Structure formats: C-alpha cells, structure tokens
Structure 1
Amino acid sequence: MQIVKYLKQYRIPFSGLVAGKHKFDFEIDNKFFDCYEHSIVKKGQLKADVELTKQENMLVVNFHIYGTIQLNCDVCLSEFEAPQDFQERALVKFTEESWENSTEEVIVLAKTDYELDIAELLYEYINVRVPYYSKCTEQGVNLSCDPEMLAKIGTDTTEQDEDSNEEEKIDPRWDILKNIKNN
C-alpha cells in the first residue's frame, strides 16, 4: 500500500487543463526505484521535466530526464554514478471503446480517464538506458576501475588458465578424440 501512495505523485491530472502546453517537474530518487522489486537501477537522483501538450483527442508528452544512476561495474564490481540525460516522447490517445492495445509509442486511455500515470513510463525509460555491460571507465565520468580488484582478478584468471592447461596435458583421451576429427 505504501508503494501505491508514493507513486501517486507521478500522476498528471489532465482533465482540467486547457488545450496547449503544460510543464511539470518530477524528482526521481531511491524511493522511486524501491517501488519496483526487479528494477535494474536501485539508486539514483534524477529529474524529469515533462511537457504535456493537450489537444482535443490526444496528448503529446515530452520527457527530458537527467541526473545520475548508480551502477555496478562488471569488471571491478565497484559502484559508480553514471550520468543520464535523454529525451523521450509518448502519445496518448482517447477512445470510447475499451481497447487494451497500447504500444510503446501510443498509450490508449478511455475518454472517462482524468489523469495520466507516468511512473511506469519513467521506470521503463530509465531502465532501458542501463547499458548491457557496465564499466566505470565507459559510463562513469573521470573514473577508472579499482586497481586492487583488477589485480586480484588478474591473478585469479592466470591461475585458472594454468589449471586448465595442466588438465589438457594430463588427460590423453582428448588427444585421441582430436585425431578422430582429422580423419
């Protein structure tokens, strides 16, 4: 119940707005990400500047999201801040029929709806921006990987390589199987 109450602040009541452009500002912090159990991003400080253009049968919603999110480096495992600054757009159409076929670009609402919940959109836009492979030196600003961790990883990988080489030398059955492939 607490989660639903917290996410209510990310709703835009559009029914009382006159046609034209309207601006809204939203803060996105750790509490926002805590509301989503399986979120890739767990921590962050972002702002969302939202410009809603109301027309007779639709809304055009432009998002400018900027700030930082916390990521874990896939190389040295340290946590670092990754700056974010991007823009997105969503179209909202109204229909009298109950139509559940919303897409990524077009959101469909009933004519009786009076507010737009953008929490899910913000969540998706931010999480989609998380790189598949996070690295301090690539997504961070003026950062480098933790040298102590790199040293530990470097020694562990060389030991593993030596172990695998010894296994190949010890077991002669593999050499016999390699000869079958050559015939």
Structure 2
Amino acid sequence: MKYLKQYRIPFSGLAAGKHDFEFEINDKFFDCYEHSLVKKGNLTSNVSLQKQETMLIVNFTIDGTIKLNCDVCLTEFDAPVSFQERLIVKFVNEEWDSETDEVIILNKTDHELDIANLLYEYINVQVPYYAKCTEQGINISCDPEMLAKINIEEKSDIEEEKIDPRWAALKNIKNN
C-alpha cells in the first residue's frame, strides 16, 4: 500500500484557483487491489483541481488501455479507455455522513485528498460486462483456432441431445 501514497494530493498548501496534476496508472497500481477486475493496464490520469474556500472541484480525465480477457476466445487484448469524471469535495467542521458518488465530505483539518480508491473505482466501472476482442479491441479479432475448438464442442453437444423416440412421440401430443 506504500505505492498508493503517490496518489495523494496535498491541497492545504495550494492557493485558491486551478491546479493540474498528472498520475500514471500501471500494473503496480492494480496489484494493490486484490479483487480488481483489471489486473494490467497503462493509463494516464490528468486531474484538474479547482480550490475554493469551502470546497474542491476535481475533474478527472483518464486515457489509456487496460488488458481484458475475451469472453469468447479467452485471448488477452488491449482495450482503449477514455473517460471523464467529476468530484466535489466539501469541507465541514463536524462529522457528516451524507456522502454520495459525486460529493465527498472532508473535515476542515484534513490536508490531503487520496484519489487512489477513486481512480480504482472509476477504471473498474469502465470494464464492459461482456468483453469481446472484436468489439472492445483495436484491429483484433477472436482467435480462429479457439473458435474452431468451440464449434467442434457445440456440434458434439448437439449430437448428444438425441431424444429417445418414445419421448419424441409424446412431444407431438402438445402440437395437436
């Protein structure tokens, strides 16, 4: 977890106004999260922080590629990722439990913003529910050798489904 310390933004010493930061997200970042959907990737996060007296407005622009496994042919491929997110950080004196996905509450005594978990969540949400080489990859198609093996297995499964002729006659009853 020491690796994730570089994803902290010390905002207490910053003057009011806009500040830009850049963070590299690579395999070491994803290794810090045991149950991550993404295990490998090469991304860049440009973070624009607008500091105001009572809050921070943080805009994330994340670009790069993540490694996915195709759900059809099991080939590992690079999937391009490019998206933007926005976050508002409010400062309060007392404890407040009304955080949302877009608003984080910090105590006025806090001096840095840890964005590692935010980056992790933003990237993992971008993983498609169904990964396929031809749809998410660039100039890549499914492995023809693996597709041939899948087709052979499907044909053998169909052959095994031969129905006993006694049951086939019963199926005709409901057609009448």
Q: Which residue of 2 aligns with 1:41?
A: 38
The 3-state SS of whatever aligns with 2:79 is: strand
Question: What is the TM-score normalised by the length of structure 1?
Answer: 0.91
Matched ranges for 1:5-24 at <5 A: 5-24=2-21
Distance 1:178 1:118 in 2: 64
Distance 1:53 1:178 in 2: 72
**Cα distance 1:147–1:17, how it changes in 2: closer, same or farther (>3 A)?**
same
Compute the displacement of 1:177 (Å): 7.6
Distance 1:117 1:63 in 2: 13
Question: What is the TM-score normalised by the length of structure 2?
Answer: 0.94
Q: Which residue of 1 aligns with 2:123?
A: 126
The partner residue of 1:170 within 164, 169, 172 is 164
Q: Which residue of 2 aligns with 1:139?
A: 136
Aligned residue identity for 1:51:
S
Aligned: 1:70 with 2:64: no
Distance 2:69 2:154 in 1: 20
- CA displacement 1:93-140 (0-9 Å, x = unmatched): 111111133110101111111000000110011000000000001100
- CA displacement 1:29-49 (0-9 Å, x = unmatched): 001001111100000000000
Aligned residues: 176
- CA displacement 1:19-78 (0-9 Å, x = unmatched): 000000101000100111110000000000000000111000001101100000001000
Alignment RMSD (CA, Å): 1.6
Aligned: 1:155 with 2:148: no
- Segments of 4+ moved more than 4 angstroms: 173-179
**Cα distance 1:109–1:152, how it changes in 2: closer, same or farther (>3 A)?**
same
**Cα distance 1:172–1:100, how it changes in 2: closer, same or farther (>3 A)?**
farther
The partner residue of 1:26 within 20, 23, 26 is 23
Identity of aligned residues (%): 65
Structure 1 residue runs of 5 or longer lacking an equivalent are none
